[in-house]
Amino acid sequence: MKELKVGVIGCGAIGKAHVQRLSNEVAGAKVTAVSDYVQDTAREVAEEYDAQFFASAKDLIACDEVDAILIASSDPSHAEYTLECIRNRKPVLCEKPLALTASDCEKILHEEMMAERHLVQVGFMRRYDSGYVEMKKAIENGRLGTPLMINCAHRNFYQPENFKTDMAITNVAIHELDISRWLLSDEYEDAQVLKVRQNTKTNSDHLNPQLCILQTKAGARVIIEVQTTNAYAYDIQCQVVGELGVINLPDPSRAYMRTEAHTETPLMTDWSERFIDAYTVELQEWVKGVHKNCVEGPSAWDGYAACVTADALITSRKTGKPEKVLTIEKPEFYK
Ligand SMILES: NC(=O)C1=CN([C@@H]2O[C@H](COP(=O)(O)OP(=O)(O)OC[C@H]3O[C@@H](n4cnc5c(N)ncnc54)[C@H](O)[C@@H]3O)[C@@H](O)[C@H]2O)C=CC1
Ligand SMILES: O=C1[C@@H](O)[C@H](O)[C@@H](O)[C@H](O)[C@H]1O
113-152, pLDDT tens digit by residue? 999 999 999 999 999 999 999 999 999 999 999 999 999 9
> Quick one: pLDDT at residue 224?
98
Ligand 1 nearest atom to the CA of residue 16, by list position: 13
- Do 15 and 78 contact (CB within 8 A), yes or no? no
CB of 209 within 6 A of ligand 1: the answer is: no
> Quick one: pLDDT at residue 203?
78
> Quick one: pLDDT at residue 259?
95
CB of 125 within 6 A of ligand 1: the answer is: yes
CB of 13 within 6 A of ligand 1: the answer is: yes
Ligand 1 nearest atom to the CA of residue 78, by list position: 39
| Distance (Å) from CA 147 to ligand 1 centroid | 35
SS3 content of the chain, % helix, strand, coil (to 5): 40, 25, 40
| Nearest protein CA to atom 2 of ligand 2, as residue | 172
Q: Are residues 172 and 313 in the same domain?
A: yes
Q: Are residues 109 and 158 in the same domain?
A: no
Average pLDDT over residues 79-92: 98
pLDDT value at 93 more than 90: yes
CA distances from 14 to 8, 163, 266, 297, 315 (A): 11, 17, 23, 19, 30
Average pLDDT over residues 77-105: 98
CB of 14 within 6 A of ligand 1: the answer is: yes
pLDDT value at 208 more than 90: yes
Amino acid at 52: Q
Rounded to the nearest integer, the mean pLDDT of the chain is 97
Look at the alpha carbons of 97, 99, 101, 104 in this order and tell me if their dihedral is positive or negative. Answer: negative
Q: Are residues 71 and 180 in the same domain?
A: no
> Helix, strand or coil for residue 122?
strand
Structural domain total, the chain: 2
CATH number, residue 245: 3.30.360.10
Q: Are residues 111 and 138 in the same domain?
A: no
Q: Are residues 139 and 97 in the same domain?
A: no
- Do 247 and 129 contact (CB within 8 A), yes or no? no
Distance CA(275)–CA(286), nearest Å, equals: 17
Q: Are residues 197 and 169 in the same domain?
A: yes
| Distance (Å) from CA 14 to ligand 1 centroid | 7
Q: Are residues 36 and 107 in the same domain?
A: yes
Query: Burial of 228 by CB count in 10 Å (0-12 exposed, 13-18 middle, 19+ buried)?
Result: buried
pLDDT value at 1 more than 80: no
Ligand 2 nearest atom to the CA of residue 274, by list position: 12
Q: Are residues 122 and 136 in the same domain?
A: no
> Helix, strand or coil for residue 159?
coil
Q: Please, which pLDDT band fits residue 205 given cuts at 50, 70 and 90?
A: confident
**Beta strands at 4-9 and 92-94: parallel, antiparallel or unpaired:** unpaired
Which of 163, 202, 271 for mutating ligand 2's site (highest number of atoms within 8 Å of CB)?
Answer: 271
The enclosing H or E element of 32 equals strand 29-35
Q: Is residue 47 part of a domain?
A: yes
Q: Are residues 119 and 161 in the same domain?
A: no
Q: Are residues 315 and 173 in the same domain?
A: yes
The pLDDT tens digits of the residues spanning 13-60 come to 999 999 999 999 999 999 999 999 999 999 999 999 999 999 999 999
Phi-psi label, residue 270: left if phi above 0, alpha if psi -120 to 50, beta otherwise: beta
**Which of 2, 13, 69 minimizes the C-alpha distance to 38?**
13
Percent of the chain with pLDDT over 90: 96
The pLDDT tens digits of the residues spanning 257-308 come to 999 999 999 999 999 999 999 999 999 999 999 999 999 999 999 999 999 9
Which of 129, 161, 170, 175 for mutating ligand 2's site (highest number of atoms within 8 Å of CB)?
Answer: 175
> Quick one: pLDDT at residue 67?
98
Does the predicted interface ipTM exceed a cut of 0.90?
yes
Which of 73, 159, 302 for mutating ligand 1's site (highest number of atoms within 8 Å of CB)?
Answer: 73
> Quick one: pLDDT at residue 204?
79
| Distance (Å) from CA 48 to ligand 1 centroid | 19
pLDDT value at 331 more than 90: yes
> Please, which residues bridge with residue 224 across strands?
152, 212
| Distance (Å) from CA 280 to ligand 1 centroid | 18
Q: Are residues 131 and 116 in the same domain?
A: no
Full residue range of the structural domain in which residue 135 is found? 127-270+307-324
Q: What is the 3-state secondary structure (H, E, C) of 53-115?
A: EECCHHHHHHCCCCCEEEECCCHHHHHHHHHHHHHCCCCEEECCCCCCCHHHHHHHHHHHHHH
pLDDT value at 83 more than 90: yes
Determine which of 74-88, 93-107, 190-204 has the lowest per-residue pLDDT on average: 190-204
- Residues in contact with 138: Cβ distance below 8 Å, sequence separation at least 6, in sequence order: 144, 240, 247
Q: Are residues 119 and 159 in the same domain?
A: no
Q: Is residue 332 part of a domain?
A: no
Determine which of 66-75, 93-102, 155-164 has the lowest per-residue pLDDT on average: 155-164
What residues line ligand 2, using a CB cutoff of 6 Å?
156, 171-172, 175, 271
